Amino acid sequence: MEVKRLTCLLSVVLLLLLLPPPPLVFSYETKAIDKLQSIDKIELNSVSGPESLAFDNFGEGPYTGVSNGKILKWQGKDVGWAEFAFNSRHSSNAECGVYNNVLLESRCGRPLGLRFHNKTGDLYVADAYFGLFKVGPSGGLMSELASSAEGVPFRFTNGLDIDQETGVVYFTDSSTYFHRSENALVVISGDATGRLMKYEPQTKKVTVLKKNLVYPNGVAISDDNTYLLVAESTPCRILKYWLQGPKTGQLEHFADLPGYPDNIKRNSRGEFWVAIGKKVQPNGLTSSSALDNPVALRLSKEGKVLEILDGDTSTSLSEVQERDGTLWFGSVEMSYIGVYKA
């Protein structure tokens, strides 16, 4: 198995050297806005990588998963960060939860997608290495809900959203071959083994909705619960998966993007914020204004670009959330959460 994996990795390196950047045509008429120069920073101290953010049904938070495998809760400037949730590895392995070390992720876990179910107060967590988890409103030890589907283990559990009416959890497994620590290889190899799935709390059943997706990442449900958006990172696009109506179960194109999309979050107006992890150097990029380093886009319900956030070349966002006119920024690379108040 290890020889096979090594052969695959060497093949991927050759592809990286030989293949040109992926072609992409992205045009827009929307002015790029740089809001990242005037943000407040909520520092994380000894950990990093607040990939995704969640707020509970009381509006408290944000909660975020970080590099030591735990979930933290922000309790305001006077109190700061408090530990909220952890997995069983943290109680059985002294290394876990202590060090900010990417090499420990596969042993200790790495929380990515987060979302509260408002009716129950439960927080659902997509852990990149161990699967789908849940923890109650008081926090503590997380319960493992699923680690495989159709007999195939999750290898890169990633994005997550919840239908607040039914409690159904929609989530992605970015690859059935590569782990999160090999995420660059998912892109370079063109891996198309990703899956979109749903978990039903009543039956505790996981159903695979779509297979053979190309690096499926963030997911977001529409405000009327009729469709689900899924980010495909490698092709730099957003797909629409129909949950209701005559097209139920069908996928269709929603939007092309100027870089690799990460998480998607819906705002109170039914629009969608898409974080851009890395910019692509595409062929045929055209614009009516400067587009130096797009880090997030706000899309309409129809997939039209309404707003573009521009940052410097060191900026890499994994999530943007809009709450009451305030933008919250998460990043798998940063050591802080960004806050922008209009």
Angle CA 104–109–113, to nearest 5: 135
DSSP calls for 213-254? ESSEEEEEE-TTSSEEEEEETTTTEEEEEE-SSTTTT-EEEE
Residue 90 lies in a domain: yes
Per-residue pLDDT for 191 more than 80? yes
Residue 11 lies in a domain: no
Residue 318 lies in a domain: yes
Residue 9 lies in a domain: no
Per-residue pLDDT for 33 more than 80? no
Per-residue pLDDT for 148 more than 90? yes
Residue 273 lies in a domain: yes
Cα 217 to chain centroid distance, Å, stands at 6
Report which of residues 314 and 30 the model is more confident about: 314
pLDDT at 146: 98
Task: Return the C-alpha torsion angle 134, 220, 148, 114, nearest 10.
Answer: -30
Cα 35 to chain centroid distance, Å, stands at 21
Residue 327 CB burial class (10 angstroms; 0-12, 13-18, ≥19): buried
Can you tell me the distance from the alpha carbon of 175 to that of 336, in angstroms, rounded to the nearest whole number? Answer: 28
3-state DSSP assignment of residue 301 = coil
- Which of 22, 23, 332 has its CA nearest to residue 190? 22
- Domain of 115, in residue numbers: 20-341
3-state DSSP assignment of residue 63 = strand
Residue 322 lies in a domain: yes
Order of strands, edge to edge, in the sheet holding 131-135?
111-117, 122-127, 131-135, 143-146
Per-residue pLDDT for 298 more than 60? yes
pLDDT at 8: 55
Residue located via tokens 């097209």: 247
Report the share of the chain in percent with pLDDT over 90. Answer: 73
Residue 135 lies in a domain: yes
With bands split at pLDDT 50, 70 and 90, how would you rate the model's confidence at 293? Answer: confident
Q: What is the pTM assigned to this prediction? A: 0.89
CATH number of the domain bearing residue 328: 2.120.10.30
pLDDT at 235: 96
Query: Both tokens of residue 7?
Result: 């052969």
Residue 96 lies in a domain: yes
- Which of 236, 258, 264, 81 has its CA nearest to residue 159? 264
Strand partners, 40: 339
Q: What is the mean pLDDT of residues 50-78?
A: 96
Count: domains in the chain: 1
